[in-house]
Structure 1
Amino acid sequence: MGRDVNLNRLAIFVALVRAGSFTAAAAQLGMTKAMVSQHMLRLERELGVTLIVRSTRRMALTEAGAAFHADCVPLLEQAEAAIERVGDQRSTPAGTLRLTTSTDYGTAVVAPALAEFHRLHPRVQVDLVINDQISDLIAERFDLAIRIGWLRDSNLRATRLGNFRQLLVAAPAYLAEHGVPRRPEDVAMHGWIAMSALVTPLRWTFTRGRTRRVVRMRQVMQANNAAAIRALVLAGAGLSVLPDYLAEDDIQAGRLQVLLAQYQLLEGGIHAVYPDPQPPAKVRAFIDFMRDRLTKR
């Protein structure tokens, strides 16, 4: 029987009892007195019991009506609280923000950013998952991913947060032993540490104005993540390309040297990717925070 009851009529019933009369309830609900009476008749018909006895001047709850009213009040209060909590999620950053990103970007950029974000939004708890594989955001219940490079086609939503430069670098000790390349073609004569995750790890295009030079490198080592590439380059194993966010501190400290600075390599994108077409406040707040933080770099 319960599935045949129009649950909207429960709120009208509780409002009627609270108001004490059909006239007062109609005014509070924005209905006519006849509509309130009609809803009550239909509710009683759906339940199969009389809830209210009426006279020309008075109304009173039956025993069944009083018991039903006592059950309805907490149900409606719980529903209102649930609606309010959902509304809070739309307007106030709170709850657990579960996100994933790559090892190198997560360690170098996202983790420090999350520490500052939490100070600004203490009601948000953070669950950061570092993973160099592409995670299934829906199956693994992630709120968003920060993805670096070039996005694959998908049904997910994406917001561009910024860009990163790719820098050709080497350790000073390596250059002292093997010489400094002066032209893109010279790089092919040096030992190359390849990023195996790339589609074409040995083919790089150097651009200067309208001039484009495509160079095929001579691989001596390879690794599957940028942090490992950085460690190999710092150890003097050869030349490679690193993203600016991973190489800047080493460059400033003199541990790495930028080569062929007059040429440019293809820039990569930094994106927030998320499955929810209407992301909650915690996700929107973090996207805005990261975009602003990257703009100021």
Structure 2
Amino acid sequence: MAADVNLNRLAVFVALVRAGSFTAAAQQLGTTKAMVSQHLAKLEDELGVTLLVRSTRKMSLTDAGERFHEDCARVLADAEAAIARLGECRDTPMGVLRVAAAGDHGPAIVAPALAAFAERYPQVSVELVVGDAIVDLIAERFDLSIRLGWLRDSSLRAAKLASFRQCLVASPGYLAKRGTPETPADLAGHRWIALTILASPTRWTFTGADGTEHLVQMRSAASANTTLAAHGFVVAGMGMSVLPDYVVADDLAAGRLLPLLADFRLPEGGVHAVYPGRQPSIKVRAFIDLLRERLQDVSTSR
């Protein structure tokens, strides 16, 4: 029988009982007295029970109607609470925020940002998965991924958070043995540490002060599939490589690495938040805003 009951009539019934009359209920519902009466008659017919006893002067609930009204009022209150909670989910970050990030960026940049985010929004629990492989956001149920460099074509949405410089570096020990390159063409004779996650790990374009581009093909002496591993090779004096500024900043300041070809520029890389769907959820938008703010503060302090 329940499958045959129009649940909209429950709201009319509860409104009728609360209003105390068909006229008052019709005014509250924005309909006619006849329509309220029709809804009640159909509800009683669908239930097979008389809910109200009506006279020309007043109406009163039957025993069945009184019990049914209590249940209906509770159901409607639960529905209203559920809608209110849904509104909170739409307007307030909550739930689990699952983020993927690169190995060089995740622990140093994304993890502190997630900690600050969880502090700001205690109804959110955070999960960070670190690795340099490109994750499938939908299949692996990630809310977003923080990706570095240059984005490949994708059906995913992306927001650019910041930029970073690419730095050609080598250790003092390596340069003492192999010499210091003066031009991009000199690089072809040096030992190169290739970062295999890049589309072209041994081919780079350097731009001179006059805007002239110099495409150089390097000879790989070693390769690594993570930025931090390539960095380890370079610091150990195995060869030279191009590494992000946020990875080598401390080494340059301490003299563990030296910058090369200062008169030439390399393409800037980007920090991107990538997410599925046309619009990010409130928790994803809030974290993107927080991370962008923190990255801008770091960039300003450099």
TM tier, smaller: over 0.9
Residue of structure 2 equivalent to 1:14:
14
Secondary structure (helix, strand or coil) at the match of 1:122 reads coil
Q: Alignment partner of 2:137: what SS?
A: coil
CA distance in 2, matches of 1:277, 1:210: 38
Give the partner amino acid of 1:234: V
Cα offset, 1:202, TM superposition:
1.0
Cα 1:30–1:64, aligned 2, differ >3 Å: closer, same or farther? same
- Counterpart Cα distance in 2 of 1:139 and 1:15: 46
Assess if the C-alpha contact under 8 Å between 1:193 and 1:222 holds in 2.
yes
Residue aligning to 2:250? 249
Q: Residue 235 of structure 1 aligns with which residue?
A: 236
- Please report how far the alpha carbon of residue 192 of structure 1 lies from its aligned counterpart in structure 2 after TM superposition: 0.4
For the Cα contact (< 8 Å) 1:14–1:72, is it kept in 2? yes
Relative to the length of structure 1, the TM-score reads 0.92
* Structure 1 counterpart SS, 2:255: coil
Residues 7 and 279 (structure 1), Cα distance of their counterparts in 2 relative to 1, 3 Å cut: farther
* Between 165-174 and 60-69, the greater mean CA deviation after superposition: 60-69
Deviation of residue 161 (structure 1)? 1.4
TM superposition shift of 1:226: 0.4
User: 1:225 maps to which residue?
Assistant: 226
Residue 264 of structure 1: how far off its partner (Å) = 1.5
Partner SS for 1:188: helix
Amino acid at match of 2:253: Q
Deviation at 1:87, TM superposition (A): 0.9
Q: Name the CA distance, whole Å, in 1 between partners of 2:62 and 2:162.
A: 66
The match for 1:286 is: 287
Over 3 Å counting, the alpha-carbon distance change for 1:184 and 1:275 in structure 2 is: same
Q: Please show how residues 132-281 of structure 1 align to structure 2 within 5 Å.
A: 132-208=132-208, 209-281=210-282
Partners of 1:53 and 1:22 lie apart in 2 by 12
Deviation of 1:278 after TM superposition, in Å, equals 3.9
Distance in 2 between the 1:73 and 1:276 partners? Answer: 37
Aligned AA (1:20): G
Root mean square deviation of aligned Cα: 1.9
1:64 has 2:64 as partner: yes
| Alpha-carbon distance between aligned partners in 1 of 2:130 and 2:236, rounded to the nearest angstrom | 25
Once structures 1 and 2 are overlaid, which stretch shifts more, 40-49 or 185-194? 40-49
Change over 3 Å in CA distance of 1:65–1:134 after alignment to 2: farther
Aligned sequence identity (%): 61
Distance 2:74 2:244 in 1: 57
Distance between the aligned counterparts of 1:140 and 1:4, measured in 2?
41
CA distance, structure 1, for counterparts of residue 65 and residue 278 of structure 2: 43
CA spacing shift, 1:249–1:3, aligned 2, 3 Å: farther
Q: Is the 8 A contact 2:231 2:243 kept in 1?
A: yes
Give SS of 1:215's match. strand
5+ residue gaps, structure 1:
none
CA distance in 1, matches of 2:92, 2:57: 48
Cα-to-partner distance string for 1:37-59 (whole Å, 9 max, x where unaligned): 22222323333333222222222
Q: Tell me: CA distance 1:256–1:112, structure 2 relative to 1, closer, same or farther (3 Å).
A: farther
Contact 2:52 2:61 in 1 (8 A): yes
Deviations 1:44-102 (A, max 9, x none): 33333332222222222233322322222222222222211111122122222111111
Aligned pairs, how many? 297
Give the match for residue 104 of structure 1. 104
Displacement, 1:212? 0.4
Unaligned runs of 5+ in 2: none
State how far apart, in whole Å, the 2-side matches of 1:146 and 1:246 are: 16
CA contact (8 A) 2:132 2:197 kept: no
- DSSP-derived class of the 1:104 partner: coil
Tell me by how many angstroms 1:195 deviates. Answer: 0.8
Distance 1:282 1:100 in 2: 15
Cα distance change of structure 1 residues 11 and 139 upon mapping to structure 2, 3 Å threshold: farther
Q: Which amino acid aligns with 2:244?
A: P
- Is residue 40 from structure 1 mapped to residue 62 from structure 2 by the alignment? no
Distance 2:92 2:55 in 1: 49
